[in-house]
């Protein structure tokens, strides 16, 4: 009941005109960047960080969350209509959605995606409202060693456990951790990895890294392989409305998608790709129309779309309750909190309840706005895809550099932006995941601080990490999550040799 009361209070914060306006701007921007290929919600939040620095924290964070939700809606439009998912979370949607669009059923595909996102987003946000306070109660008992262990779990699951290659994922993570070392050590005041460059004393800016990797890196990557494929936009033909049959076939996939998306998003398991593909394969197995799969089955759109929205709400649980980002967008939102000196976690729930609950309540409002924006107005969003690619990317780069210049107008900062852009390009080309770098840069210094705090309380005794039952359990999970993919790979290879 406490949650309901707090939520009602949050609602009074969320319906303040300014906050409604921020939510609207957020969902508009989010949908736009979700529709446009090449920019996602993580990059958008990164671009907005320097601009929103002087705005009201509550409103800005409501806007960031709107962008996150909106990006999930908009990504499905691109996935269905041009088969190049705007977000990796929409990859599963593209499988059936684009087939439906080609078969002239683009309207119902977009409708089931939007309504499914709304259903999933609403259920999952309720889940967030009830789960986050519970997690906060648990987290109050956490000591620094427990936080350190928790971050170890996040490091491993984000980089190693669920990617294609644990070695490449961990490599990305360690590049992020290495970047996190740069700057003055907060406890002893010594400069690390600054090579006498004064601009590096403050450390590597998260926004510079994120904008470099996501915006410049993506632009370089797309430009370098432009000669390979041309994109075709499928026009939306026929009615937007779903038939009775469509509703009947969409309902359960929505619910099942939510049930996959929310818990997996809430676990520090990183990203929405896993629940979307789980949902896709489940729907494929359960469907009464298996012959339609691969040719445009509505279940294959409804399930994954619900899953990706539910997982977006899910990732907000560890972010708000523990300060633990498990996706690139959540990492950027954490950076957003930090720029106002706010640290998500139990303390934030106690000290700034109006901010936390205002945010959660505004998510319901954002969800309703998105349903309206995406169903009747989908035609408008599709027009965005008509922006010529050269101008689109030129505009992205102009905004990217402007954000960096506005934050720190220095040659060093801009050179780093270019260098991170090249890094992002190379990582895409050689298939290294990007998100672990950002997570490593943000969480690395926090993990180090927690570990050092834990060890100075224990007078340098490392056994403190194993004496706390929470920390010992979490470290155990981290070790298993680290070793498991290697063991599975070894088993596969063993089987292959047997055959």
Partner 1 sequence: MTTRTPRRIDKAGLLIALVLLALAGLIWQDMSSLQLSSVYGLGPKAMPMVVSVGLAILGVGNAISALQGGLPERESLDWKPIVLIIGGLAILIACVKFNVGFIPATAVLFACTAAAFGRRAFITDLVIGFAAGLIIYLLFAKLLTLSLPMGPLERLIGA
- What is the binding site for partner 1 (CB under 8 A)? 50-51, 54, 165, 167-168, 170-171, 174-175, 177-178, 181, 185, 187-188, 190, 192-193, 195, 216, 219-220, 222-228, 388-391, 393-395, 397-399, 401-402, 405-406, 409-411, 414-415, 417-418, 421-422, 425, 429-431, 444, 448, 451-452, 454-456, 458-460, 496, 499
Nearer to partner 1, 34 or 212 (CB): 212
Cβ atoms < 10 Å from Cβ of 454: 22
What's the sign of the alpha-carbon dihedral 398, 233, 275, 107? Answer: positive
Nearer to partner 1, 383 or 430 (CB): 430
Q: What is the dihedral of CA 84, 436, 328, 305, to 10 degrees?
A: 50
Closest distance to partner 1 from the beta carbon of 436 (Å): 12
Q: Which residues pair with 390 in a beta bridge?
A: none
Closest distance to partner 1 from the beta carbon of 240 (Å): 32
What's the sign of the alpha-carbon dihedral 377, 381, 382, 383? Answer: positive
Nearer to partner 1, 206 or 366 (CB): 206
Contact 29, 70 (CB under 8 A): yes
Nearer to partner 1, 1 or 494 (CB): 494
b (16+ CB within 10 A) / e for 59-98? bbbbbbbbbbbbbbbbbbbbbbbbbbbbbbbbbbbbbbbb
Contact 204, 441 (CB under 8 A): yes
- Residues whose CB falls within 8 Å of the CB of residue 477, separated by 6 or more in sequence, listed in order: 153
> For the CA atoms of the chain, what is the radius of gyration?
22
Question: Would residue 436 be called left, alpha or beta, if left means φ above 0 and alpha means ψ between -120 and 50 degrees?
Answer: alpha
Q: What is the DSSP pairing of strand 191-192 with strand 183-184?
A: antiparallel
Closest distance to partner 1 from the beta carbon of 490 (Å): 13
Nearer to partner 1, 150 or 306 (CB): 150
Nearer to partner 1, 240 or 402 (CB): 402
Closest distance to partner 1 from the beta carbon of 99 (Å): 24
Distance CA 65, CA 369 (A): 13
Distance CA 38, CA 260 (A): 27
Nearer to partner 1, 239 or 410 (CB): 410
Question: Which pair of tokens denotes residue 298?
Answer: 């509505």
Closest distance to partner 1 from the beta carbon of 474 (Å): 18
Q: Which residues pair with 192 in a beta bridge?
A: 183
Residue in the structure block whose two tokens are 């996959």: 260
Closest distance to partner 1 from the beta carbon of 445 (Å): 8
b (16+ CB within 10 A) / e for 190-227? eeeebeeeeebeebbbbbbbbbbbbbbbbbbbbeeeee
Nearer to partner 1, 74 or 444 (CB): 444
* Nearest Cα residue to 450 out of 151, 137, 136: 151
Nearer to partner 1, 264 or 465 (CB): 465
- Residues whose CB falls within 8 Å of the CB of residue 320, separated by 6 or more in sequence, listed in order: 128, 132, 344, 348, 349, 356, 359, 360
Question: Which pair of tokens denotes residue 5?
Answer: 């009361």
Closest distance to partner 1 from the beta carbon of 367 (Å): 29
Closest distance to partner 1 from the beta carbon of 82 (Å): 17
Distance CA 342, CA 352 (A): 9
Nearer to partner 1, 18 or 394 (CB): 394
Closest distance to partner 1 from the beta carbon of 296 (Å): 28
Closest distance to partner 1 from the beta carbon of 342 (Å): 21
Closest distance to partner 1 from the beta carbon of 13 (Å): 24
Closest distance to partner 1 from the beta carbon of 499 (Å): 5
Nearer to partner 1, 226 or 237 (CB): 226
Nearer to partner 1, 235 or 490 (CB): 490
What's the DSSP call for residue 47? Answer: H
């Amino acid at each position: 009941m406490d949650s309901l009361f707090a939520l009602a209070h949050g609602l009074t914060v969320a319906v303040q005109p300014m906050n409604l306006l921020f939510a609207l701007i957020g969902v508009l921007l989010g949908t736009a960047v979700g529709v446009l290929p090449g920019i996602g919600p993580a990059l958008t939040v990164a671009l907005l960080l320097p601009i929103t620095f002087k705005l009201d924290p509550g409103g800005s964070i409501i806007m960031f969350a709107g962008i996150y939700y909106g990006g999930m809606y908009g990504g499905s439009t691109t996935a269905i209509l041009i088969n190049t998912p705007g977000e990796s979370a929409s990859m599963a949607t593209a499988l059936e959605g684009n087939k439906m669009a080609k078969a002239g059923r683009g309207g119902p595909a977009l409708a089931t995606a939007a309504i499914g996102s709304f259903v999933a987003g609403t259920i999952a946000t309720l889940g967030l409202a009830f789960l986050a306070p519970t997690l906060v109660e648990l987290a109050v008992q956490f000591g620094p060693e427990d936080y350190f262990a928790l971050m170890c779990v996040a490091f491993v699951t984000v980089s190693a456990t669920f990617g294609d290659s644990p070695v490449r994922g961990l490599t990305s993570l360690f590049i992020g951790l290495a970047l996190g070392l740069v700057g003055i050590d907060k406890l002893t005041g010594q400069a690390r990895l600054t090579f006498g460059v004064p601009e590096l004393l403050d450390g590597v800016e998260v926004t510079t890294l994120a904008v470099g990797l996501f915006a410049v890196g993506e632009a370089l990557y797309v430009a370098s392989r432009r000669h390979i494929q041309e994109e075709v936009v499928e026009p939306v033909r026929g009615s937007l409305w779903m038939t009775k049959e469509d509703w009947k076939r969409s309902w359960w996939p929505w619910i099942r998608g939510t049930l996959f998306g929310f818990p997996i998003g809430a676990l520090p398991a990183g990203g929405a790709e896993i629940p979307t593909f789980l949902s896709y394969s489940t729907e494929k197995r359960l469907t009464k129309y298996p012959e339609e799969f691969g040719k445009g089955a509505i279940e294959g759109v409804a399930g994954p779309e619900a899953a990706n929205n539910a997982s977006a709400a899910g990732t907000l649980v560890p972010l708000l309750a523990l300060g633990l980002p498990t996706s690139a967008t959540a990492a950027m939102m954490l950076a957003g909190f930090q720029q106002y000196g706010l640290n998500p976690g139990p303390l934030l729930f106690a000290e700034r309840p109006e901010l936390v609950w205002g945010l959660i309540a505004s998510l319901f409002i954002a969800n309703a706005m998105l349903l309206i924006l995406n169903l009747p107005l989908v035609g408008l969003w599709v027009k965005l895809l008509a922006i010529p690619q050269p101008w689109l990317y030129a505009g992205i780069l102009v905004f990217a550099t402007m954000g960096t210049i506005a934050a720190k107008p220095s040659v060093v900062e801009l050179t780093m932006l270019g260098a991170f852009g090249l890094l992002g390009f190379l990582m895409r080309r050689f298939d290294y995941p990007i998100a672990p770098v950002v997570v490593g840069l943000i969480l690395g210094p926090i993990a180090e601080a927690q570990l050092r705090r834990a060890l100075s309380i224990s007078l340098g005794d490392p056994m403190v990490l194993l004496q706390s039952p929470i920390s010992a359990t979490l470290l155990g999970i981290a070790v298993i999550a680290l070793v498991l993919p290697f063991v599975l790979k070894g088993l596969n290879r063993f089987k292959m040799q047997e055959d």
